[in-house]
Amino acid sequence: KSAIEITGLSKTYRGGPRAPEKAALKGIDLDIPAGSVFGLLGPNGAGKSTLINILAGLVVKTAGKVTIWGFDQDVNPRQSRAAIGVMPQELNLDPFFTPRAALEVQAGLYGVKKAERRSDEILRLVGLEDKAEAYARTLSGGMRRRLLLAKALVHHPHVLVLDEPTAGVDIELRQMLWENVRRLNAEGMTIILTTHYLEEAEEMCDEIAIINQGDLVARDSTANLLSRM
């Protein structure tokens, strides 16, 4: 079974006064198996964030088809969005929300019933239990990342996407992230992460796709891919 099926996916950003038109994805086909930890690798500007933002429903594709957990994005936008949770790269959070309030709002947005909300459990998982009532504007960068991961988990998604989760984070936070990735994957969640650290992909991922300048240039099991390098 596939968690994500992508066919002929293209994205061209329209040009503007300060930037020319840019083909960020040029017809990508990619199948991500359910239950895997899947790594998207590529240099800066390769198109990784564009791909993730399309999966998250934050960027509108130019052409192609995206199916998430069996739901075509164009046909079943609500179901396909509910199947995926995304931890973004940017640390944007409402400064006057506490972690607990942010999780409640997120749960509301996704229609998670009160009885099925597990804010305390999720805050504990990401190590934010002591900061549950602190305003987001007082949280450090590391604490914000923890909250962004927590928000991605409130609706129990089948697929969790982490965009450069370890860029510039300390060892403690990196360990927390990897422990959570391993545990959630062991519980059946499909994990997709982007990184430009090959060692990280090697350690964490079952399969890897390499993107360069909007093209998919390789895709294989981590072991096969590394044996060819």
Residue placing its CB nearer to ligand ADP in the complex, 123 or 163: 163
Residue 95 within binding range of ligand ADP, rule CB under 6 A? no
Q: Which residues pair with 30 in a beta bridge?
A: 6
In the structure encoding, which two tokens stand for residue 84, read together? 């995926």
Encoded amino acid at 86, one letter: V
Strands 84-87 and 71-72: unpaired
Q: Binding ligand ADP by CB under 6 A: which of 2, 5, 7, 13? A: 13
Query: Binder to ligand ADP among 33, 45, 77, 141 (CB under 6 A)?
Result: 45
Shortest Cβ distance from residue 203 to ligand ADP (Å)?
20
Nearer to ligand ADP, 37 or 54 (CB): 54
Give the chain's largest Cα–Cα span: 50
Is position 50 an interface residue for ligand ADP (rule: CB under 6 A)?
A: yes
Distance from C-alpha of 146 to C-alpha of 133, rounded to nearest angstrom: 14
- Residue from 3, 4, 9, 24 touching ligand ADP (CB under 6 A): that is 24
Is position 18 an interface residue for ligand ADP (rule: CB under 6 A)? yes
Q: How far apart are CA 110 and CA 156, in angstroms?
A: 10
What is the C-alpha separation between 147 and 132, in angstroms, rounded? 10
Binding site for ligand ADP (CB under 6 A): 13, 15-16, 18-19, 22, 24, 42, 44-50
